[in-house]
Amino acid sequence: MKVAVVLGTRPEIIKMSPVVRELEARGIDHFVLHTGQHYSHNMDRVFFEVLRLRPPRHNLNVGSGTHGEETGRMLMGIERVLAEEKPDYVLVEGDTNTVLAGTLAASKMRIKVGHVEAGLRSGDMSMPEEINRIVADHVSDILFAPTEVSMQNLLREGLDQEKIRVTGNTIVDAVNQNLSLTEGRDIRSELCLDRYFLATVHRQENVDSPERLRRILGGLELVSKELGREVVYPVHPRARKRISAYGLHVGASVRMVDPVDYLTFLMLERGADLILTDSGGVQEEACILGVPCVTLRDNTERPETVEVGANVLSGTDPQRILDCAREMLRANVGWQNPFGDGNSAKRIVDSIER
């Protein structure tokens, strides 16, 4: 058996790292194909080094572009590699253009596809990610649903229950495995931090809208001033570019820093009093780490985080962001992690072997 792991973004590297490690541990023939979507050294290649993963065998270096440009270049490149390598299975993870291209290329070549993190739904078809995950789910051969909620989403859409495996979310495996690599480091000393909040803002619907981005930055400043904490904001290159292009002001109490490697970011998450984010993966990580979260969106494909009391949706209104931050700082942090026991990668590889 030969397995291709197709990924293209930082969250995919993180969430597929336990699967790659499990394939290696079992001696299963496999390779990683990296599309190079949204490539930057700090946010991609260095992640393989920091997570102690072998570099990808193939890198398409697609870079950024329109959805059509990215997906078209990926389809051509992935098809070429799959024809050369002839894997029996292709594994994709999440909801990116890489997932869409990898699923389409493999399925048209009659190679079986396993979709890791299948069944997530926001209900918002204006999000490109929602389209990608729906198409991937309906084309894939095995659907690795992280929770019962995601499985029910798939069943409601008429997908065959025989295709679905509830495995838990590999993000739990990744957090547990990768935190062990941070032993001996003190992030507060490294970055001269006292108590702080952590923010991430990168989603297209937020950073490509001058008004939404202005309101979010205003909300971060308001939260910092009213609640007496510095906000640390590692800025995605796309967001930094938009902030500059729109001429937006960022308050002095919001510390904008360059993107950091994943282990540093994991420590920043663990040490924060509160996380404010529009990232799906960060919502999950905050929940797993026991850190209250405010999601800077109007919907989420991770409703489990809200249901257990780990997360609340604020939208982009500054006053609402502040109110939600206050609410979450008062929240009981003893919630139950809904994403599994950290053995998701083993279950995924077990299913493929069977």
pTM of the model: 0.91
Per-residue pLDDT tens over the stretch 209-240: 999 999 999 999 999 999 999 999 999 888 99
Among candidate residues 304, 295, 299, 294, the one with its CA nearest the CA of residue 339: 304
- 156: how many CB neighbours lie within 10 A of its CB? 10
User: From CA 338, how far away is CA 8, in angstroms rounded?
Assistant: 26
Q: What is the CATH number of domain 2-169+340-353?
A: 3.40.50.2000
Q: Is 202 a catalytic residue?
A: yes
39: pLDDT strictly greater than 70: no
Q: What is the dihedral of CA 143, 146, 152, 153, to 10 degrees?
A: -70
Start-end of H helices in the chain: 10-25, 45-50, 67-85, 97-108, 128-139, 148-156, 170-179, 187-190, 204-207, 210-227, 237-246, 262-271, 280-289, 303-307, 318-329, 344-353
224 touches 197 (CB < 8 A): yes
Per-residue pLDDT tens over the stretch 159-168: 999 999 999 9
* Catalytically annotated residue among 30, 34, 202, 236: 202
The model's confidence at residue 63, banded by pLDDT at 50, 70 and 90, is: confident
Per-residue pLDDT tens over the stretch 21-38: 999 999 999 999 999 987
User: From CA 145, how far away is CA 149, in angstroms rounded?
Assistant: 9
Cα Rg of the chain (Å, integer): 20
Q: For the chain, give every residue range classified as CATH 3.40.50.2000.
A: 2-169+340-353, 187-329
Per-residue pLDDT tens over the stretch 161-213: 999 999 999 999 999 999 988 888 888 898 889 999 999 999 989 999 999 99
CATH architecture of 187-329: 3-Layer(aba) Sandwich (3.40)
